[in-house]
Structure 1
Amino acid sequence: MTLPMCKWLSAERSEDHLVAWNESREWRQHEFRRDVLSLLAGLRRTSHSRWALCLEDNYSFAVALLAVIYSGKTPVLPGHFRPAVLAEQRCEFDALITDLPLSPDCPVLRFPLALQETLTVLPPWPQDASVILFTSGSTGKPQKIVKPVSCLELESQWLGTRWGTEFAGVRFAATVAPHHMYGLSFAFMLPLSLGLPFATTSIKYHEQLHSLASVHSLVFISSPAFLERLDPALNMPKLRHVFSAGGPLKHAAVRLVEQTCGDVPTEIYGTTETGVIAFRQQYQPEQAWTLFGDIVFSLSPDGNTSLISPLVSPSGCFTLSDNIRMLPADPRHFELLGRKDRIVKIAEQRVSLTEIEQRLCQLDLLSEASVLTVEKRGRVYVAAVLVLSRSGEQLLDAQGQAALLNNLRQSLRSWVSPVALPRYWRIVPAIPLNQQGKRSAAELQEMFL
């Protein structure tokens, strides 16, 4: 049912096959092949081997990814296009392809391309092709992950086998970009493997989704951050299928998606390192997760959960950072109990950032909090980013920020040691999220520069 990447541009798909679209135009197979060949000609004139892809347009991303792989070079997906993040990851790439006004300290190829020369024949597909990604950075500095294309293709086979028969005649639209693992797997690999068209522009507003769904039958790839804020007043046409990943959906959000989009969303559990692990549909609150077929969990004596999966390269094994409870009656089903504590050492004391965050979120003055560490003059401190509740806003207006923060410190003293009390505080309207709906560690850190 799915085609491997090496056949996406082959004659197995007709010249008129629809590859991608937006509200103003469509891209067909013959254009896709032509554009990849054109970029290939440009890449062949360079000696750079690692190309960072910073492209907002999803069709341009598809062209660039295939061209870089066909040229025998390595695509690097930075995950974030913020200059500070790119500067931090500069040692991981030699050159950059972009459609944004970025000026990194490296050679740049800019879309739309103005290349005159083109090739007529694709070179052989490199059998050991791989893609470099980075973890989301939601709990720390993003980590580099080398993902073999063969693992991405196997994952697409699993997804196509599980859901492909339901997708006849659909188009894919997404709020998530293909620069992170979830977007790469579901908004890029899956539609191209199945030969289904994808939207070239990421969905940012509910009105965009409504406009597309009014014309096309859609599979929608999204995250809790977007789905939990759907407006039921939009009278959305029924979507064919809704996927969500980046964190568990609250059951109230599941009901909202069902009411608004006509589908109980399929939640995906996975990581950048492992690819997909499990899925669920919450017909009941906190419904258990189901492992994908070839994945096995193993419980360690220390309480950690490891998985064995053919999607994990090269070891096939990975230790999860989440607490897992297997259902006694069925080892293929489990419950997610939240992330393991984020433990840091400050002044030789073990400090749980997770505990501080949980204690803050229990206070009436706050509706949300994010706790992290910052380094100042060679020392590490705890910092907190806060979203106030209605009562917190009233206290701030009436008595000022100093009184508010003093109240929070006094409340925390009952629970945590003095060294664990946040030294730096920021009050924000909302915790910053990345396109995957996860907390953006880079933006949180920048608040304390």
Structure 2
Amino acid sequence: MESTFYHIHSAEIHFVGEQHTSQKWAAMVANYMQLFTHHTGKSWLLYEPDSYVFSALFYALLASGKSIVLPQNAQPEHIKQVKTSVDASVGDSSIEPTIESSLDCQFHSHISLSIPQNADIFFYTSGSTGVPKIVKKQYKLLQLEVDVLEKEFAARVTGSTFLSTVPHQHIYGLLFKMLWPITKGHALVCQAFEYPEQLANKVLAEDISQVTIVSSPAQLHRMALDNPLLPISDKVKSIFSSGGPLDANKNLILQQTLTCDIVEVFGSTETGGIGWRKKNTLHDNDWLAFNNIKLAYQPNSDLLAISSPYIQQDEYYADDRVEILQAGRFRVLGRADSVVKIEEKRVSLDEVQERLKQHEYIDDVFVVVIGSPRRKLAALIVLNSVGLKATEKLKKIELNRLFKDYLSNWYEAILLPKKYRYPTELPYNARGKLSRLEAESYFD
């Protein structure tokens, strides 16, 4: 009879760093399990920025038969909202938890955990509207996805140590930064790296021979311009990126300067991983669906329908426009909500963005719709070094006109962005996703 539990053995977990040992981790887990088992609460809010402590809390809760709710962040109002839906909370003092997390514990050699397959983990996520929604996942679905990652990418990561610049509160970071290395025996550094310089210094300080880096497009875009990983370029085995498309030029620059592969993963909290790609040229736009994912078109449209073992329904309708090719390959044409009407004319925001990105002055761009009742396009543009040099001679109004004239090669006047702002960077969040609401606030 098939077991209804997954088994985690602390002796098989390889933490890197003097402060992070599997024995100490086992002691923390044993200590927290005792606390959780004697607490009547069934559903627990978990927020802890330290990945080492977080992982101990995560597995202790599940092994104690509890369900976990992961908030997006520790902002007071968000935590207040999440607490209304749980029985108790645990973690960092900033959230005023029922049980505060701590590294203090009695010594324990090792521990073997039994994790129920049907244990529930709830993720808070937000779509383009910015309104949080809850996505429920059973532990077995997360572990199944880890099994697929290991089967697909084992050759790219075996023998390396995982380091990450993304948070573990969200599904991408949780899977790639924590569950994958912990359950598949890969070494990992639990420290959270806000800056890639910190990551490089850690690799050198610990004398790590090979590394796998889990990152996001926003962070990788910045590294392509001024790469702090060059001192460890001979140690970088693979880089994973998810959360949005990685600029093709910057992708190839990083692969060349670091002499490593960059694997982009396409998916969402709801669907899990859908597909992946590794670009070799600027024109490699195809994604390869994971073997257990079936893709189709939604009825009478070019929108994506997904059959996946990671979702608890027969078919999931996504908001992405796609072109489905042969042999499990597909192209992403943009999100359905990127096609808008301006004065009864349809235009794709994604397409306008891509046109602008091809301009020699532009490093990054985000196009939004502003105004009510009369709607118009507006563009947030990050200039590259050539563009910044041009601003020494061009006034802002002249720069605006330059980009309007450029876009007029493809779009009639009514569809051209009417307002422009030039921030030093776009409003990416910790997961590397752009905030449409924050972008719109630039034009208030």
TM-score for both structures, normalised by structure 2? 0.79
* Alignment correspondent of 1:25: 19
Q: Is the 8 A contact 2:146 2:175 kept in 1?
A: yes
Show the 5 A alignment for 1:51-70: 51-70=44-63
* Alignment correspondent of 1:332: 328
Q: CA 1:179 to 1:167, structure 2 compared with 1: closer, same or farther past 3 Å? A: same
Q: CA 1:256 to 1:355, structure 2 compared with 1: closer, same or farther past 3 Å? A: closer
Q: CA 1:366 to 1:161, structure 2 compared with 1: closer, same or farther past 3 Å? A: closer
1:130, CA displacement in angstroms? Answer: 1.6
1:292, CA displacement in angstroms? Answer: 0.9
Show the 5 A alignment for 1:19-418: 19-22=14-17, 24-28=18-22, 30-99=23-92, 101-103=94-96, 107-112=97-102, 125-137=115-127, 140-214=130-204, 215-216=207-208, 217-230=210-223, 231=227, 233-234=230-231, 236-287=233-284, 288-300=286-298, 301-312=300-311, 314-327=312-325, 330-342=326-338, 354=349, 358=353, 361=356, 368-370=364-366, 386-387=380-381, 389=383, 415-416=413-414
CA distance in 2, matches of 1:213, 1:177: 19
1:409, CA displacement in angstroms? Answer: 10
- Please state whether the residue corresponding to 2:261 is helix, strand or coil: coil
* Alignment correspondent of 2:432: 437
Q: CA 1:65 to 1:260, structure 2 compared with 1: closer, same or farther past 3 Å? A: same
1:235, CA displacement in angstroms? Answer: 5.5
- Please state whether the residue corresponding to 1:283 is helix, strand or coil: coil
Q: Which amino acid aligns with 1:334?
A: F
- Please state whether the residue corresponding to 2:428 is helix, strand or coil: coil
- Comparing 64-73 with 361-370, greater Cα deviation is found at 361-370
Q: How many residues align?
A: 426
CA distance in 1, matches of 2:79, 2:443: 19
1:165, CA displacement in angstroms? Answer: 4.5
1:123, CA displacement in angstroms? Answer: 8.2
Deviations 1:338-365 (A, max 9, x none): 222346799x989878379649948999
- Please state whether the residue corresponding to 1:265 is helix, strand or coil: strand
Q: Which amino acid aligns with 1:306?
A: A
CA distance in 1, matches of 2:105, 2:374: 50
1:321, CA displacement in angstroms? Answer: 1.8
CA distance in 1, matches of 2:256, 2:324: 31
1:59, CA displacement in angstroms? Answer: 1.0
Q: Is the 8 A contact 1:5 1:153 kept in 2?
A: no
CA distance in 2, matches of 1:205, 1:438: 17
Deviations 1:415-442 (A, max 9, x none): 4489x977xx876321121222111457
Q: CA 1:353 to 1:77, structure 2 compared with 1: closer, same or farther past 3 Å? A: farther
CA distance in 1, matches of 2:329, 2:290: 10
Deviations 1:364-412 (A, max 9, x none): 9976554557899xx99889573454769987998789x9989999999
Deviations 1:36-78 (A, max 9, x none): 1211222234333322222111111111111221222211111
* Alignment correspondent of 1:428: 423
Q: CA 1:383 to 1:281, structure 2 compared with 1: closer, same or farther past 3 Å? A: closer
Q: Which amino acid aligns with 1:323?
A: R
1:204, CA displacement in angstroms? Answer: 2.4
CA distance in 2, matches of 1:380, 1:71: 55
- Comparing 217-226 with 162-171, greater Cα deviation is found at 162-171
- Please state whether the residue corresponding to 1:21 is helix, strand or coil: coil
Q: CA 1:194 to 1:148, structure 2 compared with 1: closer, same or farther past 3 Å? A: same
* Alignment correspondent of 2:7: 7
Q: CA 1:52 to 1:352, structure 2 compared with 1: closer, same or farther past 3 Å? A: farther
1:33, CA displacement in angstroms? Answer: 2.4
Q: Is the 8 A contact 1:70 1:122 kept in 2?
A: no
Q: CA 1:357 to 1:136, structure 2 compared with 1: closer, same or farther past 3 Å? A: farther
Q: Is the 8 A contact 2:252 2:281 kept in 1?
A: no
1:242, CA displacement in angstroms? Answer: 1.6
1:276, CA displacement in angstroms? Answer: 0.9
Q: Is the 8 A contact 1:366 1:392 kept in 2?
A: no
5+ residue gaps, structure 1 = none
- Please state whether the residue corresponding to 2:264 is helix, strand or coil: strand
- Please state whether the residue corresponding to 2:246 is helix, strand or coil: coil
TM-score for both structures, normalised by structure 1? 0.78
1:263, CA displacement in angstroms? Answer: 0.9
1:149, CA displacement in angstroms? Answer: 0.8
Q: CA 1:342 to 1:167, structure 2 compared with 1: closer, same or farther past 3 Å? A: closer
